[in-house]
Chain A
Amino acid sequence: MELSGPRWKGKNCAQIANSKPMSEIIAQLQICLSNSESAALPIGTDFLLETVPELTDLLNRTSFGRQLKTSNDRKKCFQLSPEETFYLHHSLKCLKVSINNANLIDVNLWNYMRSRNELFPIYYRAYMHLRSKNWVVKLGTKNGVDYVVYRHHPALVHSEYAVIVDWKKEKGEKEGERLRVWSDLHCAIRACNGVAKAVLLLNVMGYEVTFSLPELLERTTVDEMQITRWLPSQCRDDCQLEGNNG
Chain B
Amino acid sequence: MATVSKVEGETRRRRKGKERGKNQERSRKQNSFLLEDDSEEIYFNPFQPSSPNSKKEGNTRRRRKGNERGANPVRSRQQNSFLLEDDSDKIHFNPFLHSPNSSSSSLYGSQIRTEVSKARWVEEIGMAEVIEKVNLGNERTEVSKARWVEEIGMAEVIEKKGSMWVTTGVIRNSKLYCHIEEIGYLAEIGALVLFDEGDNVMGLRDIYTKCANRKYGCSWESFKAYRHLKSLGYIVGRHDQPWSLKHNKINPNSGSTADTDLLAGRIEELQIDAANLIFDIHRPNSKFKKTDPGNPSFIIFLVGDRPPSRKEVGLEKKCKSVPLKFCHVSHDNVSFFSFPKVSLPVLP
Contacts and interface: CB of A to CB of B under 8 A. Distances in A.
Contact of A245 (B81, B234, B338, B346): B338
Nearest to A60: B46
Given A174-B310, A224-B341, A230-B336, 6 more contacts: A130-B344, A196-B83, A226-B340, A229-B335, A229-B337, A232-B229
B305 interface: yes
Nearest to A19: B47
A36 interface: no
B307 A135 contact: no
Given A182-B306, A185-B307, A134 B81 contact: no
Contacts of A186: 335
Interface residues of B, number: 63
Contact of A155 (B47, B78, B228): B47
Interface string A193-214: 1111000110000000000000
Contact of B61 (A9, A142, A224): A9
Contacts, number: 162
Contact of A233 (B61, B72, B232): B232
A234 interface: yes
23 contacts: A4-B74, A20-B47, A61-B46, A133-B345, A134-B346, A142-B40, A143-B39, A154-B43, A186-B335, A193-B88, A194-B88, A196-B82, A196-B83, A200-B344, A226-B340, A227-B338, A227-B339, A228-B339, A230-B325, A230-B337, A231-B86, A233-B6, A241-B323
Going nearest first, the 9 A-B pairs with the smallest beta carbon separation are A155-B45, A21-B348, A155-B43, A134-B347, A60-B46, A230-B336, A154-B43, A245-B340, A133-B346
B68 A11 contact: yes
B38 interface: yes
B79 interface: yes
Interface string A115-145: 0000000000000001001110000001100
B46 A245 contact: no
A59 B39 CA distance: 22
A140 to B, nearest CB: 10
